[in-house]
Every structure is written in C-alpha cells, then in structure tokens.
Amino acid sequence: MKTFGILGAGTWGTALANMLENMGHHVAVWSPVKEEVEKLTTERVHKHLPGSIINDKIEFSTDEAFVIKNKDYIIVATPSIYVRSTAERVKDLLTKNQIIITVAKGIEKDTMLTMSEVIHDVVGNDYKVVCLSGPTHAEEVAKGLPTLIVAACEDINVANQVRDEINNEVLRVYSNDDIKGAEVAGALKNIMALACGMSEGMGYGDNAKAALITRGLTEMIRLGEAMGCKKDTFYGLTGIGDIVVTATSQFSRNHNAGVLLGQGKSLNETLKEIGMVVEGLNALMAAKELRDRYNVDMPIVEGVYSVIYGNMDPKEAVVKLLNRRLTSE
C-alpha cells in the first residue's frame, strides 16, 4: 500500500481521501483553515458530503510539511484559482520521487495554463504530474457508488502507475497520454453546464439541453484541436462523460448556478446561494480569451459570457444563438 498527501479538504479531496484510506492506503489531508481541520478530525463528517463517515485513520492537519513528507503521491485538490498559490506554498517540501496528481478543473485566467502546467510552472518540469478527470461527483464517490475516471499524463507509464494504484471495485480508472486534452475538456465542460442550467432556469426542456450538450462538445473540440489536443479525448470520459454528469446533475454547482442565473438571479445572489466555488465562472474568462486567441467559433461560450459578464438577458442570448447563420453539422 502507498501513502498519499492531499492538499485541500473540500468535497473532492475528502472523498478521495476516504476512498484511498478504505483501500488500505495511508492518507493525510491538509487544510489551511484550523477550524475546518478540527471539525473534520473530531466529527469525522464533511458538511457537503452528507451520509458519509470519514475513516478514523485519515489524518487532517494545517501543517503542509506533515502532509507532504515521506508521501508517495501528492494530490492537489484545491479549487483551480488556488492551485498556483498552493504549489508555491509547498514547492520546497516536494521531492522528485513523488508523483503529483491534480484533480482541479480549470484554466488559469492570466496565463491560460492548465492546472498541470501551472504546477510545472511553479515546481519545474522535473516532477511527474498526472491529471485525474472524468464524470466524478464527490458525493457519489464518497458513498462508494460506481464511478469511472481517467488518469492522464504525457508519460503513459506514469499514468498507468497511478491508474493501477487507485483502481478499485467501485472506481474504474483508465489511462490516457493526452493530459492537455483531459484538462481542457474538464475546464470547458463547466461552461456548458452553466449553459444547460440557464436553459433549465428559463423553463426550457430536454430538447434544448441535449442541443447545448451536443453543440457545446463541438465547441470544446474546436478549441481543443486548435490547442493541440486529441479529438478522441473529448469523446471519452473527460469530455462527453463529464459534460453529461455536470450539465444534468443536482450535485453540480455549475448546473445549479446556471439555473439560478436563468431564473434572473444576479451573479452575486447566485454565488451566495451556491455557497461553494463555481469553477465554470473562472473557466469562462479563460475560454473567452482562448477563443479570441485561436480565432475559434464558440457561440455558446460567447452567449454565456455575455449573460454573466455583459449583462445580457438570458433569453436574448438564446434568440441570438437560434438566429445565427444556418450551416451544416
């Protein structure tokens, strides 16, 4: 069995910690918030993972050195906007024999880097970094419900190593060498989930949602290929699989945020009601910049951006989408 240090005690970090500890691995989890560590340590439950009991053997700490030292794998499970600052905080504690795993889904706004690229930018290229991505709601993983995920790394042997270590009877893991494609897909699908939620919030039905998922995937592929990603990656778990679960589920913050926006709530009202990080909002600004940089046609991204940051009425955005020039599929 191996040792894991997890940076971030949110829903996904905690769910992974529980799964890994239940497999027999040893896990320590870091959070910078003392009150959170104390609560998780004493109560053994996470407020956003109802019904799931945290394994008593998992150690929670505010000491990043304690969580990182002598661990085989380091999982970065903070929201995407904190990945750089977290990497900066721990870079001098890492050793090159450790494998770094990122589970955050996003593109850094100012640099347009994916999360693995952000980590490499901070710690250097000598470290092995793997992305874990796919249709994986933390709430279901925490309950031990069947889930499939992808371990992606440019070095397929490293991806296979992570795959073999974390695969178990309820989490089936595939490997992929297109880490950029997996990360771009994981970031962009959150925007499509916002769009589907907005559609639902406006009272539209399954026809509109299916159209947004399908045409949204097309937009993701356009941008992905322009950035050098493999098309097939977007047809797999990290692409269409993740869009479906994020765009349709009650557990999806992005979908639920979209519903509120579609109902006419302001961005501030929406964020207050959701109460957690909505990654699609962070990815949206990066996607708009990348769309312009690569000159890629992405009308759904443009529409969502116009609603959230351009104060366009959601129904006006729908009219604009439906009245675009007709073309072939």
Sequential pLDDT tens for the chain (329 residues): 899 999 999 999 999 999 999 999 999 999 999 999 999 999 999 999 988 999 999 999 999 999 999 999 999 999 999 999 999 999 999 999 999 999 999 999 899 999 999 999 999 999 999 999 999 999 999 999 999 999 999 999 999 999 999 999 999 999 999 999 999 999 999 999 999 999 999 999 999 999 999 999 999 999 999 999 999 999 999 999 999 999 998 889 999 999 999 999 999 999 999 988 889 988 999 999 999 999 999 999 999 999 999 989 999 999 899 888 888 88
Catalytic residue among 189, 209, 288, 320: 189
Out of 142, 177, 212, pick the residue that ends a domain: 177
- Name which of 75, 85, 68, 153 is nearest 121 in CA terms: 85
pLDDT of residue 265: 92
Residues 173 and 209 in one domain: no
Neighbour tally for 63: CB within 10 Å: 11
Residues 229 and 259 in one domain: yes
Residues 121 and 236 in one domain: no
Helix (H) or strand (E) holding 200: helix 179-201
pLDDT of residue 165: 97
Residues 230 and 82 in one domain: no
Residue 218 is part of which domain span?
188-322
The 3-state DSSP composition of the chain as helix, strand, coil percent (nearest 5) reads 55, 10, 35
189 is an active site residue: yes
> Would 328 be classed as within a structural domain?
no
d(CA 327, CA 329): 7
* Integer CA distances (angstroms), 222 to 99, 215, 272, 306, in order: 31, 11, 33, 20
Total number of domains constituting the chain: 2
Long-range contact set of residues 39-44: C-beta below 8 Å, sequence gap at least 24? 40/9, 40/14
> Would 115 be classed as within a structural domain?
yes
d(CA 292, CA 301): 11
d(CA 181, CA 220): 10
d(CA 263, CA 28): 41
> Would 183 be classed as within a structural domain?
no
Whole-prediction pTM: 0.94
Write the CATH number for 205.
Answer: 1.10.1040.10
Out of 177, 207, 227, pick the residue that ends a domain: 177
Q: Are 238 and 185 in contact (CB under 8 A)?
A: yes
